[in-house]
Amino acid sequence: MEIRHLKTFKTIVEIGGYTRAADYLGYAQSTVTSHIQAIEQELRKPLFYRLGKKMLLTEAGKHLLPYATKMIELYEKARYISADDEQPSGNLIIGASESLTVYRLPTILHEYKSKYPQVTVTLKSSTCWQLRDELRQGKIDVAFLLDEERNEEDLHIEKLVDEPMVFIFPKGHPAGKTDYQHLAFSTNETFLYTEHGCSYRDFFEEYLHNQGVVTDKTMEFWSVEAIKQCVMCGLGVSLLPMITTRTEISEQKLEGIMVKDALFSTQMAYHKNKWFSPAMTAFTEIVRSQAEKWREASIAG
């Protein structure tokens, strides 16, 4: 059972099919098929079965996956046995919510790629809960969460900076003239939510529930940027991180009311058993350096 066969197997699971895995890995589809057949012949059991157009794991495949993940990780560790002064190289897979991908990560990624061009960086966008699962499954190396503080037995979660939240309204909305203490939502409003799995959506729904607001006038969006544009054109109201709306509020394109009791922060997370490659070590050092600048800016601003 070769490492390249296991990498192919893991890629099929993550990406969802032979054709996609072949494209991602740069193989012919016949090569991907031969890799899986080689494993199946050794195990004497099939790894996948089809359900319609979906490729699903058999019980043998489910049992193999954590072993394959661990063996690939050990292989990567062995590859990094090198002199202390050698430049970091290899791969680094980063997961983040959309808000942090757009408003926190660019400066980090720019500095990192400038200093360590030999590292191949892959960025995946997902919700906080999905990112936690992907850390546990070894699909990503490090995640950035915009969330309330939580204790996780198997994950190291490091708070980087507090993230104030703000209710946003179209320009000229009556609520823009009040304050948080006296804010009251009407069932006539249309509420624009981020997708499920986002912690501040949960906060927003609980806030409305506590106010006694019961309505089916809601819309769900996959994009923070789409929500802002829809609020600006008068479609409804929403709750978003201040970092995503600061420019529009200062330019008076939106009305905003700061939320006093929403305790969210940008957090860096990785598995407690994660082996730190030189690439990972260098990356976390840059993150902490950038986070110190964020905290200084929040105090000054």
What's the rounded Cα separation, in Å, for the pair 171 and 178?
Answer: 13
**The pLDDT value given to residue 19:** 87
Mean pLDDT of 93-101: 93
Residues 88, 94, 100, 106, CA torsion sign: positive
Indicate the CATH number of 88-163+264-301 among 3.90.800.10, 3.40.50.620, 3.40.190.10, 1.20.1090.10. Answer: 3.40.190.10
pLDDT tens digits for 253-285?
999 999 988 789 999 999 988 878 889 999 999
* 285 CB neighbour count, 10 Å cutoff: 11
* 146 CB neighbour count, 10 Å cutoff: 25
pLDDT tens digits for 198-237?
888 889 888 888 888 877 888 888 889 999 999 999 999 9
* DSSP states along 228-278: HHHHHTTS-EEEEEHHHHHHHHHTTSEEEEE-SS---EEEEEEETT----H
Question: Helix 278-300 crosses helix 105-115 at what angle (to 10 degrees)?
Answer: 140
Mean pLDDT of 98-120: 94
What CATH class does 1-81 carry?
Answer: mainly alpha
The SS3 of residue 300 is helix
> Any idea which residue has 């070769």 for tokens?
2
Number of H helices, E strands in the chain: 11, 12
6 — pLDDT class (breaks 50, 70, 90): very high
What's the rounded Cα separation, in Å, for the pair 145 and 266?
Answer: 6
- Two tokens at 219? 């819309």
197 — pLDDT class (breaks 50, 70, 90): confident
The SS3 of residue 196 is coil
The dihedral over CA atoms of 151, 157, 161, 167, expressed in degrees to the nearest 10, equals -60
**The pLDDT value given to residue 64:** 93
50 — pLDDT class (breaks 50, 70, 90): confident
- pLDDT at 83 exceeding the cut of 60: no
Max Cα distance, the chain (Å): 70
* % the chain with pLDDT above 90: 49
CATH 3.40.50.1820 holds for 165-258: no
- pLDDT at 185 exceeding the cut of 90: no
Phi, then psi, of 180 in degrees rounded to 5: -60, -40
- 228 - beta bridge partners? none
Domain positions in the chain: 1-81, 88-163+264-301, 165-258
Are 1-81 and 88-163+264-301 in the same CATH fold? no
Phi, then psi, of 80 in degrees rounded to 5: -95, 10
How would you class 205 by CB atoms within 10 Å of its CB: exposed for 0-12, middle for 13-18, buried for 19 or more? middle
Angle subtended at Cα 63 by Cα 58 and Cα 65, rounded to the nearest 5 degrees = 95
- pLDDT at 90 exceeding the cut of 90: no
Please give the model's pTM, rounded to 2 decimal places.
Answer: 0.72
Mean pLDDT of 38-50: 91
301 — pLDDT class (breaks 50, 70, 90): low
